Amino acid sequence: MYKKSSSSFVKHLDFMIIDLLLLAGAYVLAFLVRHQWAIPRHLSNPFIQFGIILLIVYLLIGLISNAYKDVLHRNKWLELIQTVFQVALTLVILLLYLFITKQSAVLSRWVFVLTAAFAIILIWPIRVLWKHSIRMRLLRNNIGGREQMLLILEASSLDSSIQEIFNKKYQTYDFCGIVTTDPAYVGEDIEGIPIVAGINDLEEYVLANIVDDVLISIDNVEMSALLINYFLEMGIVVHMAIMNSDSPLPNARLDEIGDMFVLTTSLSAASPWQLMVKRIADIIGGLIGCLITGIAYLFVAPQIKKIDPGPVFFHQTRIGKNGRRFELYKFRSMYQDAEARKAELMDLNEMEGPMFKIKNDPRILPKIGKRIRDWSVDELPQFWNILKGDMSLVGTRPPTVEEFECYEPHHKARLAFKPGLTGLWQVSGRNRIDEFEEIVRLDTEYIKNWSLKEDLIIILKTFVVVFKRKGSM
């Protein structure tokens, strides 16, 4: 899934909120200093009124003057100039307002002077420190949190393409590798990025590694079109350099990577606001779910240990978004040797494809195992995965490593989204679906049509499925 670019208003909302809080603090501090740390009662109402006007004017000036555009790229001295300009112009406009409305005698000149001084003293260093914090997060090599981008570049222009991409210092991507039109370059590296494959050999790399986005900048238009279709089939976000704009790119959006303008396409796209709401819902749901899990533990744990002494929780490596690995947790509903016995039961597998499922699985613990599966209680510990950010409340079910290794390229499309505790497949008759391709179709359909409303509908349907005991999630 592609995260839409934010406007300066949305992208730097954190700077705006911090500025307004600091300006309000400077105004209050100036008033308290001027009036010897006490606000006269007869001035309390004008004080609040002018404070609100002050914040509104400051915000409007910031938006009109694009004060937050490229804020991360300004050095501390340019930031000082911008801060002084924004604060000074705000107070000048407020002073004009007071003069026009004949209220200039209400606030003393010292309040204006002190507000300006305190605002600059507070806003400038805090902006600088906050930018430093953001830059450190952007520069930190965090595979779990940053998008992994594969570069597909023309061999004859490798150096110039990399220079153009790297022209902006603070990237939101980690560049995991370069694929080039000339395989002779494989094994070398440019600016610390390894050249991992030629174009004819890239499938093996993409299937085995985490790739969220690809940037294609090659001269061959026909090859570009083939690569676009290939990556879209896998659910990977595609960025095409503008010079290749003749290549077919459905639902294309203009974007920028470094100083290179690109057209971007993907299975679906979401705004930062949508993703923020989804994450907030996950955190709230995760906290509530962990509390429920703790209560369930008191009843489930003794019964599991009574039948088969051993760990109460089962954990297994699963594949998350675009190939990321994480440990998934469940209440143990099977005997401890269940994984070892799986090979003996492969002939009874009822699923067509890499997934495994059989009715009346002999590895399930008697009584308690079936009971917690029927009511999906065994899935409750995954709320910890949701809280950590490995999973979401709604998404696609994460495959095992063994299943993932059997994937064909188009199967990887179901991993374009963060895996979920429930999803479209689970509420569409999981027990009746025995074809893996149908599961891939449902998961891909969910990703293409994703919306917050759709997530809410799936959550509500999940409660119905669980209470009707139509199968575990």
Buried b / exposed e over 436-445, threshold 16 CB at 10 Å, is beebbbbbbe
Q: Give dist(CA 318, CA 397) in Å, integer.
A: 10
Alpha-carbon distance of 368 to 156, in angstroms, equals: 64
Spell out the residues 6+ positions from residue 438 whose beta carbon is closer than 8 angstroms to its own.
none
Pairing mode, if any, of strands 269-270 and 2-3? parallel
What integer pLDDT is reported at residue 216 of this predicted model?
A: 92
d(CA 337, CA 321): 29
Domains in the chain, start-ordered, CATH in brackets? 2-139 (no CATH), 147-266 (3.40.50.720), 272-467 (no CATH)
**Phi first, then psi: what are they for 316, rounded to 5°?**
-150, 140
Neighbours of 392 (CB within 10 A): 25
pLDDT digits (tens, 9 = 90+) for 40-93: 555 566 778 888 888 898 988 888 888 887 787 788 888 899 899 999 999 888
Question: Can you give the pLDDT at residue 44?
Answer: 60
* Residue 61 near residue 29 (C-beta atoms within 8 A): no
Which residues of the chain carry a pLDDT beneath 50?
Answer: 8, 141-144, 473
Segments in 140-157 forming alpha helices (H): none
Q: How far is CA 236 from CA 23, 215, 280, 411, in A?
A: 43, 11, 25, 12
Residue whose token pair is 């955190």: 283
- Whole-number pLDDT of residue 265: 81
pLDDT at res. 143 = 40
Q: What is the pTM of this model?
A: 0.68
Give me the residues paired with residue 237 across strands.
213
Token reading at 154: 């023309």
Contact 385, 328 (CB under 8 A): yes
Say if residues 181 and 206 touch (Cβ distance below 8 Å).
no
pLDDT at position 144 is: 43
Kind and range of the H or E run holding 407: none
